[in-house]
Amino acid sequence: MAKKGSIEQIVPIKIDTIIQKVIVHDTVPKLSLGEHKVWTLGKAGIHANIRQETAIHYDVRKPNYVIIHHTAQNSLDQTIRTFQVEHTKVSSHYVISRNGVIVQMLNDYVRGWHAGLSKWGTITDMNSISIGIELDNNGKEAFPDAQIEALMVVLDTLKANYGIPVANFIGHADIAPARKNDPSVFFPWKKLADRGFGIWYNPAELVTAPETFNPIDALRIIGYDTRNLKAAIIAFKRKFVVNDVSPELTIYDKSILYNLYQNY
> Domain range spanning residue 84?
65-194
Q: Which residues pair with 69 in a beta bridge?
A: 134
Question: Last residue of some domain: 170, 194, 218?
Answer: 194
- Residue 201 phi, psi (nearest 5): -85, 160
125: domain CATH number?
3.40.80.10
**Smallest Cα–Cα separation from 38: which of 110, 101, 90?**
110
This prediction has a pTM of: 0.80
170 and 223 assigned to the same domain = no
119 and 240 assigned to the same domain = no
86 and 176 assigned to the same domain = yes
pLDDT (0 to 100) of residue 211: 96
149 and 252 assigned to the same domain = no
Structural domain includes residue 209:
yes
Task: Give how many domains the chain has, as a whole number.
Answer: 2
Q: Which residues pair with 123 in a beta bridge?
A: 120
Summarize pLDDT for 166-186 with one digit per residue, the tens.
Answer: 999 999 999 999 999 999 999
252 and 164 assigned to the same domain = no
156 and 244 assigned to the same domain = no
- Residue 232 phi, psi (nearest 5): -65, -40
154 and 248 assigned to the same domain = no
How far from the centroid of its chain's Cα atoms is residue 206's Cα?
29
Q: Which residues pair with 9 in a beta bridge?
A: 37
Structural domain includes residue 130:
yes
Structural domain includes residue 36:
no
Report how far apart, in Å, the C-alpha atoms of 41 and of each of 95, 96, 107, 109 are: 22, 25, 11, 13
Q: Which of the residues in the chain have pLDDT under 70?
A: 1-60
Structural domain includes residue 53:
no
117 and 154 assigned to the same domain = yes
From CA 66, how far away is CA 127, in angstroms rounded? 10
Summarize pLDDT for 48-91 with one digit per residue, the tens.
Answer: 556 555 565 555 689 999 999 999 998 999 999 999 988 999 99
Question: Last residue of some domain: 194, 221, 253?
Answer: 194
164 and 211 assigned to the same domain = no
